[in-house]
């Protein structure tokens, strides 16, 4: 027995590591027809972890004060070794997190994985999407540059369209009538404290739910693609003869994570201005409104929808109805069929919805 094995044994008799690994190898089996889309959850976990690490590093030098925020970010970018890289990873990671989250949701949508008994999985995932949008919005303001200041002004202004309490909500968000000192303080607290804590808790709940119900079976490569779940009692969805999580699917996770890193690093090194455009290197000036200010890409569809309707109340109501419908989808779609081609109406509507969202975003970007 060599030295490393001795250390491993010493830990194993205390923590039972072998048992965990054996359980994951033989006990935790996944559907035999599982595909790469299922690894997006692991990619998201890695992204969240990376955002925490890069965020903590940025916090070492960032000053949440309107007079110092911009210069502290410039200091991180120009003076701190690898500071530019850390900030770019954090900024690009934020957009990538939302992109991967959306892809994860689309895959769940088309494979019918949200169907019973996984309503809570979908609901927690949907709330996680909203929280991810919230953490991205709050983080966007922190560098206190012209772009972030005015994009935040536009984004928070949309809230004012909510009937009866819109104005009060905007004031609550901004800490006053305008985006200013109090807004920065509030957004900073939300960004580094409250929202990450909520996200971490919900990720925990989401994983707990998956552990309790088991992984859903994809509807591809099977004769019977209907949801096998019966509502009379709790059943863990087992997959006898399936693929062991470790090492088989763990390797699929590693492939997806490596590909994600390749994409992230390609963006950071070759297209750094995609996430931090040159206009964001100008300090915020509340007295000078730049022309063509737009919110971040993930809010463009909402922004354009508000502009489409003659009244903002109608625009906000339409968005509210659409979001509620999406959140409650598993409770509304009670059909048992999971294969996208065997439920053409749903697939047609879902593809149409995604295309509409893309079209509105592009329209918003160029309007």
Partner 1 sequence: MSRWVTILLQLFACIIMAGQAGAVGQQVIVCIQCHAAQPVARLSQPVKIWRKSIHSDHGITCNACHGGNPLDAATSMSPADGFRGVPAPTAIPALCGGCHMGVVKHYMSSAHGRALGRGGPTCVTCHGSHGVVSASLDIISQKNCTPCHSFDKARMIRSAMLKTDGMLKAIEKRIRVLRSQGIETDSLEKRLFSLRNRFHAMFHSLDVNLIKQESAHIQAELEKTNGVGGAGTGLIVGALAVGWALLAAFLFYQIKKNLD
Q: How far is it, in rounded angstroms, from Cα 157 to Cα 179?
A: 10
Q: Is 276 in the site for partner 1 (CB under 8 A)?
A: yes
Nearer to partner 1, 85 or 194 (CB): 85
How many CA atoms lie less than 13 Å away from 277 in the CB half-sphere? 10
Nearer to partner 1, 43 or 123 (CB): 43
Residues 79-108 that bind partner 1 (CB under 8 A): 79, 84-85
Q: How far is it, in rounded angstroms, from Cα 279 to Cα 282?
A: 6
Which of 53, 77, 154, 327: binder of partner 1 (CB under 8 A)?
Answer: 77
Which of 52, 63, 194, 265: binder of partner 1 (CB under 8 A)?
Answer: 265
- Binding segment for partner 1 (CB under 8 A), chosen from 234-242, 271-279, 313-321, 336-344, is 271-279
3-class SS at 80?
Answer: coil
Q: Is 208 in the site for partner 1 (CB under 8 A)?
A: no
Residue spans of alpha helices (H) in the chain:
3-15, 17-22, 40-59, 69-78, 83-110, 119-141, 146-159, 166-174, 181-189, 195-213, 250-270, 300-308, 312-327, 329-332, 344-366
Q: How far is it, in rounded angstroms, from Cα 254 to Cα 262?
A: 12
Q: Is 258 in the site for partner 1 (CB under 8 A)?
A: yes
**239, 30 in Cβ contact below 8 A?**
yes
Identify which of 309, 296, 310, 317 has the alpha carbon closest to the alpha carbon of residue 364. 296
Identify which of 144, 141, 148, 96 has the alpha carbon closest to the alpha carbon of residue 268. 96
Nearer to partner 1, 14 or 292 (CB): 292
Which of 7, 13, 21, 254: binder of partner 1 (CB under 8 A)?
Answer: 254
Q: Is 278 in the site for partner 1 (CB under 8 A)?
A: yes
Q: Is 308 in the site for partner 1 (CB under 8 A)?
A: no
Token pair of 171 as six digits: 């004031």
**First-residue to last-residue Cα distance in the chain:** 69
Q: How many CB atoms sit inside 10 A of residue 72's CB? A: 19
Nearer to partner 1, 288 or 341 (CB): 288
Residue 335 DSSP one-character state: -
- Binding segment for partner 1 (CB under 8 A), chosen from 43-51, 69-77, 292-300, 328-336, is 69-77
Q: Is 288 in the site for partner 1 (CB under 8 A)?
A: no
Q: Is 262 in the site for partner 1 (CB under 8 A)?
A: yes
Which of 13, 56, 235, 259: binder of partner 1 (CB under 8 A)?
Answer: 259
Which of 247, 290, 335, 352: binder of partner 1 (CB under 8 A)?
Answer: 247
Nearer to partner 1, 195 or 215 (CB): 215
List of residues contacting partner 1 (CB under 8 A): 74-75, 77-79, 84-85, 247-248, 251-252, 254-255, 258-259, 261-262, 265-266, 268-270, 272-273, 276, 278, 280-281
């Amino acid at each position: 027995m060599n030295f490393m094995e001795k250390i491993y044994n010493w830990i194993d008799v205390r923590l039972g590591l072998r048992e965990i690994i054996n359980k994951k190898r033989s006990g935790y089996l996944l559907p035999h027809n599982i595909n790469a889309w299922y690894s997006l959850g692991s990619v998201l976990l890695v992204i969240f972890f990376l955002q925490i690490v890069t965020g903590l590093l940025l916090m070492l030098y960032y000053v949440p004060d309107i007079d110092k925020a911009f210069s502290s970010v410039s200091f991180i970018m120009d003076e701190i070794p690898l500071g530019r890289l850390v900030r770019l990873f954090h900024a690009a990671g934020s957009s990538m997190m939302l992109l991967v989250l959306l892809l994860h949701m689309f895959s769940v949508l088309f494979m019918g994985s949200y169907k019973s008994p996984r309503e809570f999985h979908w609901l927690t995932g949907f709330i996680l999407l909203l929280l991810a949008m919230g953490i991205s919005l709050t983080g966007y303001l922190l560098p206190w540059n012209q772009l972030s200041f005015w994009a935040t002004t536009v984004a928070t202004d949309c809230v004012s369209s909510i009937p009866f309490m819109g104005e009060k909500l905007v004031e609550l968000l901004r800490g006053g009538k305008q985006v200013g000192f109090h807004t920065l303080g509030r957004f900073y607290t939300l960004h580094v404290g409250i929202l990450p804590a909520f996200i971490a808790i919900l990720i925990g709940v989401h994983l707990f739910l998956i552990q309790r119900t088991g992984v859903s079976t994809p509807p591809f490569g099977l004769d019977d693609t209907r949801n096998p779940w019966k509502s009379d009692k709790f059943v863990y969805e087992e997959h006898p003869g399936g693929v062991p999580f470790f090492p088989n699917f763990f390797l699929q996770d590693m492939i997806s994570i490596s590909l994600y890193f390749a994409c992230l690093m390609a963006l950071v090194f070759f297209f750094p201005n995609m996430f931090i455009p040159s206009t964001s290197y100008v300090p915020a000036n509340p007295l000078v409104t730049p022309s063509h200010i737009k919110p971040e890409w993930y809010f463009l569809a909402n922004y354009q929808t508000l502009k489409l309707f003659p009244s903002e109340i109608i625009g906000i109501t339409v968005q509210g109805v659409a979001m509620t419908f999406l959140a409650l989808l598993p409770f509304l779609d009670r059909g048992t069929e999971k294969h996208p081609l065997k439920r053409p109406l749903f697939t047609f509507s879902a593809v149409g919805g995604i295309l509409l969202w893309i079209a509105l975003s592009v329209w918003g970007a160029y309007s």
